[in-house]
Amino acid sequence: MTATPDHPIHSQRWTGTEFVALLVAVLALATWGGSIALFGFAGLIVPALTLVGVMALVLVLISRG
């Protein structure tokens, strides 16, 4: 098996930005899972409904250019 620029044989290390993004995503999911375990259905639905408003705001900001 030969290495090409698109497919190196050995995987490369993550950059600091990629690692921070992964860490934030994992911690957000873990926090959401903890709230579900602690508060039940309310812990599931309240963050989800909050994210609906956040995504609506993001879409408005994107559409404004």
Q: How confident is the model at residue 8, as a pLDDT?
A: 61
Question: For the segment 16-63, what is each residue's pLDDT rounded down to a tens digit?
Answer: 899 999 999 999 999 999 999 999 999 999 988 999 999 999 999 999
pTM: 0.60
If 0-12 CB within 10 Å is exposed, 13-18 middle and 19+ buried, where does residue 44 land?
Answer: middle
Q: How confident is the model at residue 11 (pLDDT cuts 50, 70, 90)?
A: low
50 vs 56: CA distance, rounded Å: 10
